[in-house]
Amino acid sequence: MIRVFENTDICSRNSFKVHQQAAKIIEFDSNDELSQIFAEHIHGEWMVMGGANNILFTTDIATPIIVPCNKDIEVISEGSEQVIIRVGAGLEWDELVEWCVARELWGLENLSLIPGKVGASPVQNIGAYGAEAKDCITAVEMYFPEQNNFITLAAEHCNFGYRESVFKHTLKGRVIITAVIFHLSKVANPRLGYGDVEREVESRGGATLRNIREAVCAIRRAKLPDTAVTGNAGSFFKNPIVDSAVAQVLLAHYPQMPHYPTAEPDKVKLAAGWLIDQCGLKGYSEGNVGVHDRQALVLINTTGEATGSEVIAFAGKVQQRVKEKFGITIEMEVNIV
Ligand code: EPU
């Protein structure tokens, strides 16, 4: 079914809970409806929105917003070790993780409780606790309005990287992701190497899928704000990737600075949250915006009244402080509209 909403406040539809007006929101359930939507409702630019957990709206939106709502999970094939599933773009990500854990299927458990919809997961290749969506994505299905056809793009052509994919570059604004195909494993493959995960899993009795999911949920609940209570967009900044030489200079001054290897031997990933924290900004706020007091990588709508432009101005100050203290530029992870 196609549902059209005109001149609506998008406050309840974006995780930062900013108030902006959308001229037209078009929800759809089935792929068959896309040609009709483009014939009847789209006469120029358009954009896609999932749960808007990673979008910060700074103005009212005249462009029609398309919202995929298909939530189906379909088993495409099942072997002795692997299961392939197709998942509708509109399903809540964490419902998919729970579906997998309940069926003893390994792969997505470390990504428990990441807010957002399945259709958004390949766009920024969501990741947490040593796992990324790309580890389990086989292919992505999408509608291509320019040709009025559907395309299935194999994972190897999605150019996945750290919070990166082709959907942020050449395919940006050109496709509507309708479903994601995942491969999951029946063979246990616990990944406990990141931070507190192993300790939390052990305290629950060992590395079962259920224990890993519960451990990750507990760690996230302790550090990250609950979007239902406090508007936020998860990590507001990306962790910066710098030349090893730059990291070495900083490490000489700050031997305790967290740093992680990357796929490229001469590049090192730093923790933006640590850098912001070291600037003394954790828990700091101005007006309606602040740095979360338990995770400095997260900016929050402290009063519920923040506007998008206020958040951007505050983020700019945070970037400037980090630049002044460390000489490092931290980029926003959140998409600005
Ligand atoms: N740190 C501080 N102070 C802070 C925050 C972090 O000192 O206020 C230090 C931590 O102690 C740790 C390091 O910085 O040594 C890294 O922090 P953490 O392990 O909490 O993870 P992160 O790098 O800040 C990334 C993802 C998160 C993901 C976690 C866990 C990015 C931009 N963020 O955060 O993703 O949940 O790892 O894997 O890569 C998201 O994208 O919305 C998100 C929450």
Tell me if residue 163 is catalytic: yes
Residue of 15, 27, 235, 321 with catalytic role: 235
Tell me the CA–centroid distance for residue 64 and ligand 1, in Å. Answer: 34
Residue nearest to atom 20 of ligand 1 (CA): 295
Q: Which atom of ligand 1 is nearest to the CA of 220?
A: 36
pLDDT digits (tens, 9 = 90+) for 151-168: 999 999 999 999 999 999
Residue nearest to atom 34 of ligand 1 (CA): 235
Tell me which of 43, 68, 93 is where a domain ends: 68
Together in a domain, 282 and 249: yes
pLDDT digits (tens, 9 = 90+) for 164-209: 999 999 999 999 999 999 999 999 999 999 889 999 999 999 999 9
Full domain range(s) for residue 126 = 73-199
Q: Give me the chain's average pLDDT, please.
A: 96
Tell me the CA–centroid distance for residue 78 and ligand 1, in Å. Answer: 35
Amino acid found at 317: K
Together in a domain, 257 and 183: no
Residue 237: inside a domain, yes or no?
Answer: yes
Tell me if residue 294 is catalytic: no
Confidence at 137, pLDDT banded by 50, 70, 90: very high
pLDDT of residue 62: 95
Tell me the CA–centroid distance for residue 286 and ligand 1, in Å. Answer: 23
Confidence at 4, pLDDT banded by 50, 70, 90: very high
Domain with residue 262: its CATH number is 3.90.78.10
* Among 87, 94, 92, 123, CA closest to 110: 94
Confidence at 54, pLDDT banded by 50, 70, 90: confident
Residue 236 Cβ contacting ligand 1 at under 6 Å: no
Residue 274 Cβ contacting ligand 1 at under 6 Å: yes
pLDDT digits (tens, 9 = 90+) for 269-324: 999 999 999 999 999 999 999 999 999 999 999 999 999 999 999 999 999 999 99
Our count of domains for the chain comes to: 3
